[in-house]
Amino acid sequence: MGAIGEQIAAYGGWRGELADAIRRYFLWLDDVELADDVARARIEAILARLGNERITVAFVAEFSRGKSELINAIFFPDHGQRVVPSSAGRTTMCPTELRYDRDRPPSIRLLPVETRIDDTPLADLRDEPDAWTEIVLPHGDPIRLRQAFGAVQEIDLVSVERARQLGFVQEGDDGFLQPDADGMVQVPRWRHAIVNYPHPLLEMGLVIIDTPGLNAIGAEPELTLSMIPKADAVLFVLAADTGVTRSDIEVWRRHVSPVQRSGRIAVLNKIDGLWDELKDDASIDAEIDRQVASVAAALELPAGMVFPVSAQKGLVARVQGDRGLLARSRLPALEQALSGELVPRQREILVEHVRREFDEMSGVAGSLLSARRRNLVEQIFELNALRGKNRDVMGHMAARIRGEREDFEKGLRHLQGLRSVFSRHSRTIFATIGADALRQHVRNAREDMRTSNFSGGLRTGMDSLIGAARVDFGETGRLAGEVGTLMSAMYKSFSAQHGLSLGSPILFSMKRYVAELDRIEALQRRHFGAISLVTTEKWALMRRFFESVASRIKALYEKLNRDIQAWLRAVMAPIEGQIREHQDQLKRRLDAVRRVIDANGSLDERIEALERMRAEVEQCTAVADELVGQIRATLGHPEQPGRPVGQLETA
């Protein structure tokens, strides 16, 4: 296993260790009766994030650049043979995902290319099993796996008109869509392939995306809008024997450079073609360095981000255990750069998310424990003050506690009024970003596009959808701000009047949702902003692109709905928890004084009981500190345990 494999395996092991520590903390919360529905939901969300975390690496290239061979060399040399088909010519005809989902059997799922006709986005078809053809894979049989992989190479012969209806447009210089003697052209049989395979790295959360070249990328908006931009790293593969072609530049400028600012690595493959027995190593290295410099200049990348390799020799070296050949292939340098770029950045983003969520939740539990201890100390102080006092003094104390209780009940009635405002704002927020509102925006945008074959009308349709989403997001941000202000006032009021320890409420930010909308808008403008007159095939592509944009905005609305709902629950949890605790404390204080007045209980016995309860709370606090400390230590980097992670903006 190379450097990237070791890093991903270690990352998976660390996530498992962190998940175990968080489960132990939740079991403790449950034992001490601090696990309310909000805490349970937050724990489940953190565990789901840890369990479902993916590291996605996209391989982008024109055909015959050795992309599939590079995937075999980096990720699958342990099979002793090629897993992903790799040979001369086109070997990947449709976008292919390699991943592992334990809830599905090992299989290759294939989506027919005809599904493009009705413009349904790929994202909407993923969960429709009837739309896919599935080939079940036998476990532990790499030969059968390789045979099944052959499906991604399958093609159909169709007329040029049919190819255009399917969204294929001649864009590169690779001879794609060139009619044969009968006027027929080759198109991929499948629109998309998903390989579910229990390889150790895939089980740890690695996802590999293999793209099939400029024409297929351009025909599938999902790749441009979502899959490539959301990849954690993009390897752009070139070939030393072809240099940087016009199609290479087109793929880079349209689909990689503008949408993937970090994690971009250029790979100059097939350097073994430059190996020459009649030249010394220095001359060969100088030639490779010249090519690297040329590629870096063409792609406007630092030369240090262009890695010359021989994927084929690297794979052979790994299979045969030839260290010398492996070093000459330069594959380890690429793996080291990829692992250093990819895993630490992904880990920092995850650490920041988990730390933020866990600190908020554990802070609520810690405040409740502090309130319990403070209330017990106050009760002990009150009862100690009753030693040697007559019944009149005790009666005055009982009356004072009843007065506190009545004042608190008045505060609760005020809280009920604020809750009504809170509920009204919540309903307005969900109406603003609800499914009905979005469906209306999409209908309006489709109507704007329907009657125009000119770019102005088409752009108006897309702009109207994104503009409507911006209005919704702005209103949601305004309402969430009002809710935050309301909760701040509520927190301060109860803290000042009743001595609750509430701090400040968590505020909701729309920043990352607006930023995602900005990215979607920039992508659609980049692809269609310069078109003046739309041809039939371009119109079909733009229509599919619009549906993919609508699908991605729908997913953004759904995520915003989930996050807002979780925030609204979380922002109420601290005050509701401490109100319950304060009510119980007032009741216990009054009961204790009454029992002493009625001579139904010994004052010393009651004080001893409260001292035991205080000791138990202090023990709980010590256990909480230990469990929280374990989680925070695990969140630190292994090489520097507990080192704080820099603040990152998370998606």
Lowest-confidence pick of 136-140, 332-336, 568-572: 136-140
Cα 634 from Cα 21, distance rounded (Å): 8
Q: Where are the alpha helices (DSSP H) in 233-330?
A: 246-251, 281-299, 311-320, 323-329
Residue at 533: amino acid letter:
L
Lowest-confidence pick of 154-163, 290-299, 372-381, 620-629: 372-381
At 414-447, the pLDDT tens digits run: 667 777 888 889 999 999 999 999 999 998 888 8
Structure-model confidence comparison of residues 145 and 274, the more confident one: 274
Cα 431 from Cα 49, distance rounded (Å): 27
Q: List the chain domain ranges.
A: 57-329, 386-598
At 104-129, the pLDDT tens digits run: 888 999 999 999 888 788 888 988 99
At 361-392, the pLDDT tens digits run: 888 888 888 878 887 887 788 777 766 565 56
Question: Residue 194 pLDDT more than 90?
Answer: yes
- What is the model's pLDDT at position 440? 93
pLDDT tier at 458 (50, 70, 90 boundaries)? low
Using the structure block, give the residue that is written with the tokens 């600190």.
359
Structure-model confidence comparison of residues 143 and 277, the more confident one: 277
Question: Residue 600 pLDDT more than 50?
Answer: no
Which CATH number fits the domain 57-329, given the four candidates 3.40.50.300, 3.30.70.890, 3.40.1650.10, 2.60.40.10?
3.40.50.300
* Residue 226: half-sphere exposure toward Cβ, Cα within 13 Å: 18
- What are the structure tokens assigned to 267, written together? 């790979």
- What are the structure tokens assigned to 628, written together? 């929280």
Find the Cα–Cα–Cα–Cα dihedral 238, 242, 246, 249, rounded to 10°: 20
Question: What is the phi-psi region of residue 289: left when phi exceeds 0, alpha when psi lies from -120 to 50, beta otherwise?
Answer: alpha
| C-alpha separations of 272 from 86, 182, 275, 314 in Å | 17, 39, 5, 10
Sort strands 206-210 and 155-159 into parallel, antiparallel or unpaired: unpaired
- What is the model's pLDDT at position 429? 94
Cα 191 from Cα 112, distance rounded (Å): 5
- What is the model's pLDDT at position 457? 58
Average pLDDT over every residue of 320-333: 93
Lowest-confidence pick of 196-205, 399-408, 614-623: 399-408
- What is the model's pLDDT at position 638? 38
- What is the model's pLDDT at position 62? 83
Q: Give kind and range of the element (H or E) at residue 192.
A: strand 190-196
Residue at 410: amino acid letter:
K
- Which residues face 49 on adjacent strands? none
- What is the model's pLDDT at position 434? 92
265: CB partners within 8 A, 6+ apart: 233, 234, 235, 236, 305, 307, 334, 337, 338, 341
| C-alpha separations of 81 from 108, 111, 241 in Å | 19, 27, 24
Angle, CA 125 vertex, CA 194 and CA 235 arms, to 5°: 40
Residue at 235: amino acid letter:
L
Cα 402 from Cα 241, distance rounded (Å): 89
Question: Residue 248 pLDDT more than 50?
Answer: yes
For the chain, the C-alpha Rg in angstroms (whole number) is 31
| Exposure letters 571-593 (e unless 16+ CB within 10 A, then b) | bbbbbebbbebbeebbeebbebb
- Least Cα distance to 379 among 580, 600, 611 occurs for 611
Question: Residue 270 pLDDT more than 70?
Answer: yes
- What is the model's pLDDT at position 50? 92
DSSP state of 643: P
Structure-model confidence comparison of residues 575 and 358, the more confident one: 358
Please give the mean pLDDT across all residues of the chain: 81
Cα 491 from Cα 509, distance rounded (Å): 19
- Which residues face 58 on adjacent strands? 209, 234
Question: Residue 169 pLDDT more than 70?
Answer: no
- What is the model's pLDDT at position 84? 76
- What are the structure tokens assigned to 63, written together? 């055909």
At 195-204, the pLDDT tens digits run: 998 888 888 8
648: CB partners within 8 A, 6+ apart: 348, 349, 352
Question: Residue 651 pLDDT more than 50?
Answer: no
Cα 258 from Cα 242, distance rounded (Å): 24
Using the structure block, give the residue that is written with the tokens 């939901």.
41
Question: Residue 546 pLDDT more than 90?
Answer: no
Structure-model confidence comparison of residues 495 and 199, the more confident one: 199
- By CB atoms closer than 10 A (0-12, 13-18, 19+), residue 83 is buried
- What is the model's pLDDT at position 595? 66
- What is the model's pLDDT at position 498? 67
Question: Residue 174 pLDDT more than 60?
Answer: no
